Chain A
Amino acid sequence: MMLAFSVFPTIQVRLPAGTDNQSLIHLVGFVRDPFDCVTEFNLSSVVVVSDSTEITNLVDSLQNSRSGITNNPLVQILASGNQNTIGQVISSLSLAFNKINDQTVKTAVESETLNNDFHFCI
């Protein structure tokens, strides 16, 4: 997924959590000349773990603190107008929510399996 686009050689980015066992994110960059000739290169892979506190605070703010939601740092970033940063936060959050959803489904299925076993015994 796209992380950032810049005309400047130095930029700051927020990265999504890595999905493998080592939480590794692999990064690829492209540098382009005025005639759209492009060189592709790899950057060092980075270990990124989920900041669960940040996500929990966001969910809490959304559910319980409607008046104070503008104080949440992620909400402030989403309202910043910085296209790169907004994209990075949305990508990161969507991956985190998908992961939470996967875990919920997994828990539900496992629970259902246990119930079935119980009914079968009766």
Chain B
Amino acid sequence: MSDFSHSIQSKFKIHFNFSCVISTLCAPNMQYQFVNPTTQVALFSVCIGTCTSITNITWNVYYGIMNSSSTIVQWTLFSQMNQYQNIWFFGKSILSFIDTLDYIISLGSNTANFTSTDDLFLSNPSVDYWRFEVVYSFPIDTSSSSLNFLINQPPQNGSCSINPLNGTTSTLFTISCSNWQDQDGIKDYSFYSMMNHFIK
């Protein structure tokens, strides 16, 4: 479990709580959480300090592009958050309400949960960097905190071949794999056979 805190405006401190259910599926990598594209992200935030007057808690998602000429990631707001609300994203915002006297009622809660299904990463395979931000709004102030993710890429550009292409149940077939590339290395290979009646 990791705690992250990054206050843009320092009046209030917001703690980001991020944990991996299966610890081997995500690994801290410098300023990023390194996860597979099949990961569902569940985040929890809590405001610490004088947080009784929170009016709004909103989660934002940004995607990052690294400029080839520099190592700086440029962040852009993911504009389809509303479109995929309650499809990919759950718990985007908690709004306060205003009563008839126009008196702002506080939320009564200083915590917020947000979940993004793995469809976000799987549907945008070309994006390696993602940022999840929570913004706490107060009557005259805002405070925010964010957490960055780096998406692990699967092995690429390789192939495997089998030889010979026909034989009997006592023939030894050789499967050869070559040119598989992954910046983290190749762990293993596995092979399965499928009969025609299972494919149908």
Contacts and interface: CB of A to CB of B under 8 A. Distances in A.
Interface of A: 1-20, 24-39, 41, 43-44, 46-51, 54-55, 73, 92, 96
A14 B162 contact: no
A80 B193 CA distance: 23
A49 B178 contact: no
A36 B191 contact: no
Given A48-B171, A51-B168, A10 B192 contact: no
Interface residues of B, number: 49
A22 B36 CA distance: 40
23 contacts: A2-B192, A5-B190, A12-B174, A14-B173, A15-B169, A15-B171, A18-B195, A20-B195, A27-B192, A28-B191, A30-B190, A31-B158, A32-B189, A34-B184, A34-B185, A35-B24, A37-B38, A37-B182, A39-B154, A43-B162, A46-B162, A47-B165, A49-B169
Contacts of A37: 36-38, 152-155, 182
A54 B169 contact: yes
Given A34-B187, A49-B168, A26 B196 contact: yes
Interface of B: 24-25, 27, 34, 36-38, 152-156, 158-162, 164-178, 180, 182, 184-197, 199
B37 to A, nearest CB: 7
B172 A4 contact: no
A19 B195 contact: yes
Given A7-B187, A26-B199, A50-B169, A33 B182 contact: yes
A77 B167 CA distance: 19
B166 A9 contact: no
A30 B182 CA distance: 14
A37 B150 CA distance: 13
Most buried by A among B172, B175, B176: B175
Contact of A43 (B27, B34, B160, B172): B160
Query: Lowest 10 A-B CB distances belong to which pairs?
Result: A47-B166, A9-B177, A51-B168, A20-B196, A37-B154, A51-B170, A33-B182, A39-B154, A26-B194, A3-B191
Given A35-B184, A37-B37, A51-B169, 11 more contacts: A5-B191, A9-B180, A9-B186, A13-B174, A18-B195, A25-B194, A27-B162, A27-B175, A27-B191, A29-B177, A33-B184
A39 B192 contact: no
B115 to A, nearest CB: 21
A31 B180 contact: yes
Given A10-B175, A18-B195, A26-B194, A41 B182 contact: no
